[in-house]
Structure 1
Amino acid sequence: MDRLRVGIALYNVGRHLAAHEPLEELWLEAPAGERDDYLQGLIQACAAVHKSRSGNETGAAGLAESAVGYIDAGGDTGTGVRERLAVDALVGWLGRLVTDPDLATRESPPEVRLGGEAVGVYDLTPGGVVAAAEAVAETDDDDLLRAALGYAESDLDAGDESSPFVTLTLDCVRDPTPIVRQRLREHVGRRRSRAADVEGLFE
């Protein structure tokens, strides 16, 4: 599973807080002193956007400035991250965020391209979808999404990639509208009832 791809997909659909989870896991894989500054800059960019949207203007400006510094300083560390990403537009936008720290409340940051592609969550493999949903469930503390994700993983293990839990989990990560969440809640409720009925047979 490509954690860089998962992180960029989450970033590109506006899940900036969740995006930092797989990106940070990837960054932490390297020993201290050998970690990728370019990747750290991208992680801080995600945090800067989140803080701007949360009303933390001081944090947003400081992280945006730091992110630009890390991205500009990042060289080839053997990870291939710099070669795979196109972030020039993002760096320019972060420069504006430094002096206008509530910018993200009015304007979305530019997409980040990975290998020339603007990756979204619908472009992920089933394993990538699971990782993306785990990051969102963790950062949002979303018990409904956690439950749905458990059923999605079970269905994927059984070879059912067309499971409604897979589809609805994706939809919830991309755009958690009330209708999507209601449909997800109904499917979770039905699956729980079915499991309870089966358990009752053996009591």
Structure 2
Amino acid sequence: MDRLRIGVALYNSGRYLAAHEPLEALWLGSPAGQRDDCIQGVLQASVAVYKSQEGNDSGAAGLAKSAIGYLNVCEEIAVDDLLAWLGRLAADPGLGRRERPPELRVECEAIDLDDLPPEDAIAAVEAVAETEGDELLETAAAYADADVRDGKETSPFVALAVAYINTPRPIVRQRLREHVDRRRTRESDVEGLF
């Protein structure tokens, strides 16, 4: 699992709080004293944007200032535009409610959720489900994971869940719910046979 790419893809899709989950796991997974300051900076930038969007201006400004200090050491992630934007956010904490931050690039590549392999896409869906307390997405992610482990990488659960977290349209959520309901019915029918 490539937690950096998952976190960046979530960030680039506007899922700033969910981006925090895989990035924090990556950062905490490194031994103390060897943790990557760049990852810490992206973590703080993600939460700064989220706090700005939620109206927590003091939290947004503080995290934006702190993130700038960490991001100055980035090599793998292109952060020049983000550094400038965070400087503006620190001075105007409401900026995140009016304007999206610049896209992040890993090794010159802007990463979207559609760019992730199925296993990483499922992890992205799980992060969104966890941060939003979305039971439907949690269930869809579990079914997607089971399908991928069974060699069904084109599972509709993967495609629909990623489509929904990319652009949360009601029709996509409805289709996802229909697939979940059918799978649950099928499972209960099989359980009823034994």
Q: Is the shorter-chain TM-score for this pair beyond 0.5, marking a shared fold?
A: yes
**CA–CA distance in 2 between the matches of 1:13 and 1:178?**
17
Provide the C-alpha distance between the structure 2 equivalents of 1:97 and 1:39, rounded to a whole number of angstroms.
19
Q: Which amino acid aligns with 2:20?
A: H
Which deviations, in whole Å up to 9, do the C-alpha atoms of 1:61-117 show, x marking residues without a partner?
Answer: 000001001112x3xxxxxxx332101000000000011101011100000111111
Deviation at 1:18, TM superposition (A): 0.5
| Residues 111-122 of structure 1 aligned to structure 2 (within 5 Å) | 111-122=103-114
Alpha-carbon offset, residue 146 of structure 1: 0.6
1:96 aligns with 2:96: no
CA separation in 2, counterparts of 1:134 and 1:14? Answer: 15
One-letter amino acid of the counterpart of residue 155, structure 1: D
Residue 105 (str. 1) matches residue 112 (str. 2) = no
The alpha-carbon deviation at position 19 of structure 1 amounts to 0.4
Q: 1:136 aligns with which of 128, 137, 153?
A: 128
Q: Which residue of 1 aligns with 2:61?
A: 61
Which residue pairs with 1:169 in the alignment? 161
Moved over 4 A (4+): none
Give 1:148's aligned amino acid: A
Partner of 2:183: 191
TM-score if structure 1 supplies the norm length?
A: 0.93
Equivalent pairs, count: 194
AA at the equivalent of 2:63: L
Segments of 5+ residues of structure 1 without an aligned counterpart are 75-81
The one-letter code matched in structure 1 to 2:3 is R
Code of the residue aligned with 1:174 in structure 2: it is N
Q: C-alpha root-mean-square deviation of aligned residues, in Å?
A: 0.9
Letter of the 2:113 counterpart: V
Structure 2: gaps (5+ residues): none
Aligned to 2:50: 50
Partner of 2:70: 70
Using the alignment, how far apart are the partners of 2:175 and 2:31 within structure 1?
44
Measured in 2, the distance between the counterparts of 1:142 and 1:28 equals: 25
Alignment-mate amino acid for residue 31 of structure 1: P
